[in-house]
């Protein structure tokens, strides 16, 4: 069985590294290249970089930034933000990036995933599904959103994850809008539902506040990607900026604890 992956996710806004809460109020936390250097030293399993401006601004991916990140990164790198065409995806892969991530473009046109997968390989295509829980009297339940949670879609996360898998996604990322930046723990109910519905690798993002949250996610889903932002860029209740990541021995311990819960 493959070992679960523990994955820092970095958000880029106006060229800088930021962290949001509920997809809002981006707080500057440093330079993306410096963060990559630190995660190199800490031997992170993988790194995800998402440009949160590109799609909402209708902008092309920042190829210079991507090239600089790829040149520095010594771990598998996934980039997302502003990808709308096969040509863009191919160019990003040619810069040394292992995977490209799509959200709005894939949800609005799933055939794009098929086209990209045929050109760069399914293993390099990631579909990100941003999900929020609606609690109002008339709109309860799970809702898929895009464009930094400003646009809602009718399909449920489960239905959409199956459709995007069929279209060509080699990995599904479920990102909790409500838990983003809260450090309140993953949405385990949602994670378990999607794990039952897709066969491709699954990554869960949003809410991790401790390494035990990661072990709990593994205990719920087994082999899974556990991704986090705040957990790896902040330290303590005052949210002091400190890039951090568990050492190899600690990662092994977390995975062992999680699998023990999963098998039980």
**Which residues carry out catalysis?**
130
CB 79 within 8 A of CB 91: no
The pairing of beta strand 16-21 with beta strand 171-176: unpaired
d(CA 73, CA 89): 18
pTM of the model: 0.96
pLDDT in tens, 76-105: 999 999 999 999 999 999 999 999 999 999
Residue spans per domain, the chain: 5-263
Residues of the chain with pLDDT > 90: what percent? Answer: 92
Exposed/middle/buried for 233, CB within 10 Å: 0-12, 13-18, 19+?
A: buried
Average pLDDT over residues 64-78: 98
**Residue 141 has what pLDDT?**
87
Is the domain covering 5-263 a CATH 1.10.1040.10 domain? no
**Residue 138 has what pLDDT?**
60
Residue 1 in this model has a pLDDT that exceeds 60: no
Angle at 222 between CA 220 and CA 224, to 5 degrees: 100
**Residue 137 has what pLDDT?**
59
Average pLDDT over residues 178-197: 97
Residue 181 in this model has a pLDDT that exceeds 90: yes
**Residue 236 has what pLDDT?**
83
Phi, psi of 18 (to 5 degrees): -135, 165
Residue 194 in this model has a pLDDT that exceeds 70: yes
Residues of the chain with pLDDT > 70: what percent? Answer: 98
Mean pLDDT of the chain: 95
């Amino acid at each position: 069985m493959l070992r679960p992956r523990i994955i820092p996710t970095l958000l880029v806004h106006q060229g800088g590294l930021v962290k949001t809460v509920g997809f809002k109020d981006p707080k500057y936390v440093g330079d993306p290249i410096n963060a990559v250097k630190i995660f190199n030293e800490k031997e992170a399993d993988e790194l995800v970089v998402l440009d949160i401006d590109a799609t909402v601004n209708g902008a092309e991916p920042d190829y210079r930034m991507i090239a600089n990140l790829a040149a520095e990164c010594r771990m598998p790198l996934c980039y997302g933000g502003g990808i709308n065409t096969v040509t863009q995806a191919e160019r990003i892969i040619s810069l040394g990036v292992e995977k490209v991530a799509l959200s709005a473009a894939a949800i609005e046109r799933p055939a794009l995933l098929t086209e990209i997968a045929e050109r760069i390989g399914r293993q390099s295509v990631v579909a990100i599904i941003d999900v929020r829980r609606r609690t109002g009297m008339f709109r309860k339940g799970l809702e898929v959103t895009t464009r930094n949670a400003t646009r809602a879609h009718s399909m449920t996360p489960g239905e959409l994850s199956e459709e995007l898998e069929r279209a060509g996604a080699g990995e599904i990322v479920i990102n909790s809008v409500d838990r983003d930046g809260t450090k309140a723990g993953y949405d385990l109910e949602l994670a378990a539902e999607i794990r039952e519905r897709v066969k491709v690798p699954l990554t869960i993002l949003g809410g991790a506040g401790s390494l035990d949250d990661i072990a709990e996610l593994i205990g719920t889903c087994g082999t899974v990607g556990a991704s986090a932002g705040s957990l790896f860029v902040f330290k303590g209740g005052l949210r002091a900026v400190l890039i951090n990541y568990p050492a190899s021995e600690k990662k092994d311990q977390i995975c062992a604890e999680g699998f023990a819960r999963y098998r039980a």
